[in-house]
Amino acid sequence: MPTRVLNGSGTRVSAFVLGVSGWARGVTAESAQEMASTYLAAGGHTFETNDVDAGAAEVRLREALEGRRREEYQLIARNGRHGALPFAPGPDTSRAGLMAALDATLERLGTEHVDLWLVEGDDGVTPSVEVASALEWAVTTGRASDVGLSDVPPWRAVDVSHLLAARGVHLVAHAVEHHLLRADATDVVEAAAARGYGVIAGAGLARGVLTGKYRHGTPADSRRASGDLVASGASRETTRAVVESLATAADGLGVHPAELALAWSLHAPGIDAVVAGSRTAAQLRVALRAGELSVPREIVVALDEVAGA
């Protein structure tokens, strides 16, 4: 498993970050432990989660890593999308809300600090200066080694980056959804290059769509069947064209579509690391092969074209 350095910082993360937010539902403790062991054995060390379902995935991750030394792995946590205060249950990126959310996350994870804390989204009312203040607090109190943002527009990341720099804190990452169905990250990459922070691609498999499993129907055990969101903003026609092109190219290379989709993301210009989730060890083993896959230039060009990258 390759290790990547986030642009403009000394922060190192696994090229393929294992997202575990999906462990909140339908993943047993035994399955989570098997996936964590498989990932670590393959050389991965970076786990990413958020406080969805009252932090159920965070608890499952803590259980899966129980007995391991803290220095064996990295934790990326996201807060802000789900309010931690009883009077603000929705998105809350206020200083008070973020402080409460991070402390609750640390308790559920069973750790004193996370390696990278991402403030996720925008509640529509909290100004950048207050978000920056919460990020500074996390670093200065030792609750987070590094800080970043997730799922915000480029201007917001640049704004917060400037505010943090004035406080002597470096914004090290901007995480955005990026994959073959949402392939244009030009504005984010350019802003990151200008300000000196890394870009982490989230939802690397478009919530399962790029595995190809929805091509001929909906499996009974899938997230779509259970009501989870799988749409990625692309039209039905675009989605079909991308998925079919991906499946054809993967078949020609003799690999799984998920493997090729993640390999494409890992080598996309300006992308430092890719987050993708797995709900079984078998799915994870497919994803792990992406880091070793060499994709011919002509296939990259063909996928870029169909994705509009």
> What tens digit of pLDDT does each residue of 210-255 get?
999 877 644 445 544 333 434 456 788 889 999 999 999 999 999 9
Model-level pTM?
Answer: 0.93
Look up tokens 């009077």; give the residue: 87
Q: Do the Cβ atoms of 129 and 159 come closer than 8 Å?
A: no
Distance of CA 115 to the CA centre of its chain: 14
Q: How many Cβ atoms from other residues are within 10 Å of residue 21's Cβ?
A: 21
Q: How far is CA 103 from CA 71, 138, 142, 152, in A?
A: 20, 10, 12, 22
> What tens digit of pLDDT does each residue of 6-29 get?
999 999 999 999 999 999 999 999
Tokens found for residue 80: 């802000």
**Pairwise CA distance, residues 23 & 51, whole Å:** 11
**Pairwise CA distance, residues 271 & 141, whole Å:** 30
What domains, with CATH codes, occur in the chain? 3-307 (3.20.20.100)
Residue 117 backbone phi and psi in degrees, to 5:
-110, 125
